[in-house]
Amino acid sequence: MGRQRLNHRGGRKAHKEREDLAKESITKSKKSFNHRIAENPDWKPRDPRRGRSDRSLMEHRHKYLAPGGSFDRGQQHWLQKTETMIEGDTYPTDFLPFTRNAANVVAIVGQEYPGEPGDLPVFCEDDCKVVLVSSPPPTAEDESLSGPGGLGKWLEKSLRPHVLAAFEELGPPSFDIGRFPEVFSNRAQFELIRAFARVKVLGPAYGPAEAQRSVSPALHLGVWERYTSKPIITGDSRQNDAPVDKREKLIDALHDLCGVIKAYWLPKIRAIVEWYYPGQEWVWEAMHARILKHLGRDLAKYPNFDFGGMITTLAVKEGGSEKIHVDWFDNLNMFAWVTAVGDFEGGDFCSPQLGGRMPCKPGSLLGARTRFLAHCCTPVAGRRIVLTFFVDSCLFERTMRKL
């Protein structure tokens, strides 16, 4: 007997049964189709390519995007699940009328907010949520110190009316401290650690340690206008104090580190700034134009030291800033952005004026008004590489005065 071909689901008999069922189904479909035509001679099958008209699509889109529509409701629902808003009791004006004085900061915090900053309660225990901490709206007396749009009273007399009006329209930030979890990928963190390790091996020359904030020094990279009348590439970027035989290698390593920052970190920070504090593009463009006017030729050789106008300067160090301080060279209405990588514990951002501390895990991003709030971090255990992105206030103020 010849070998029979068997179907994998029951052999020839089962195959014959399925064929019969398929033929019966086709016959029923034909009868149904003929019956429809008999009842309605004008009936035609629908066009399988039919769709909404342009007008219908436009109406649907407007309805979907309208305030209170499906998109708006979805966004609100998403924010409720992923975002926490916390409002403080008072608008902190402790350091608005003061000039740069580290001793005053320590004295005022010790008198008005006694206790160890590390003992402050955590703002939010959930490390997976966006946490925004804000002070209440300023009173008329508060605004007399903070100036137009939270810009700073000392700038009010030196800015032209159209610039003042633009800042008043922009208004102050909607929060004072914000923590955004898991912003930076593992790849971004790895590339940063690799680039920083190369710098460390070469032994960079640090500027003088800022004793009012920390015992450990930081490298300040990029551009600022501190101690000069025009923008310059920072001395740490140029490694002026490094041995001559190592200087070029150090500059290349620092340039590579800043290239990693521009590729992996700045786009994420910009996206968050544009979402939570939009409308600043004209400020960034004006500052960047001033930078390029004075440093265009130098930055053409070292383009990675040019962070654009959203950020002008980067401070990078190991450890943290454990002493309570105010960043006098930052701006009242702009954030300093802090992130850290490595295997560590601690390093929580402490704000006695707002009454809490904010953990910031590796790969998370923290934004704070560091000229507005006195702050420090809790002790760090392990290896912590911390980056602080900021806009140099000298460059910012001189740019705004010339608009």
Q: Which 3 state secondary structure label does DSSP give 328?
A: coil
Bridge partners for 345 per DSSP = 381
In sequence order, which residues have a C-beta less than 8 Å from that of residue 395 and are 6 or more positions away?
223, 224, 225, 231, 287, 290, 291, 312
What would the pLDDT profile of 175-209 be if each residue is shown by its tens digit?
999 999 999 999 999 999 999 999 999 999 998 77
Query: Can you tell me which residue has the tokens 């966004």?
Result: 75
CA distance 336 to 107: 24
Specify the amino acid at residue 64: Y
CA distance 36 to 343: 73
| Residue 145: how many other CB atoms lie within 10 Å | 16
Tokens of 165: 């009006």
pLDDT tens digits for range 278-326: 999 999 999 999 999 999 999 999 999 999 999 999 999 999 999 999 9
- Count of Cβ atoms closer than 10 Å to residue 299 Cβ: 17
Please, what is the angle between helix 70-82 and helix 54-65, to 10°? 30
Tell me the CA distances in angstroms from 48 to 28, 44, 45, one per residue in order: 22, 12, 9
Distance CA 318, CA 388 (A): 11
- pLDDT class for 4, splitting at 50, 70, 90? very low
Looking at residue 1, its pLDDT comes to 43
pLDDT digits (tens, 9 = 90+) for 64-117: 778 777 777 776 766 667 888 898 888 888 888 767 788 888 999 999 999 999
**Residue of 237, 244, 203 whose CA lies nearest to 220:** 237
Cβ count near 111 (within 10 Å): 9
Nearest of 386, 384, 316 to residue 345 by alpha carbon: 384
25: amino acid identity, one letter? S
Spatial distance between the Cα atoms of 40 and 18, rounded to a whole number of angstroms? 33
Confidence (pLDDT) at 50 = 57
Distance, CA of 127 to CA of 136 (rounded, Å): 24
Q: From residue 73, give the alpha-carbon distance in Å to each of 110, 111, 129, 274.
A: 45, 46, 19, 21
Sequence letter at residue 91:
Y
Both tokens of 23, joined, read 């033929």
Q: Say whether 2 sits in a helix, a strand or coil.
A: coil
Question: Is 84-401 a domain of CATH 3.40.50?
Answer: no
DSSP per-residue codes, 8-60: TTTHHHHHHHHHHHHHHHHHHHHHHHHHHHHH-TT--PPPTT----HHHHHHH
Domain borders along the chain are 84-401
First to last CA, the chain: 99
Q: What is the pLDDT of residues 353-374, one digit of tens each?
A: 999 999 999 999 999 999 989 9
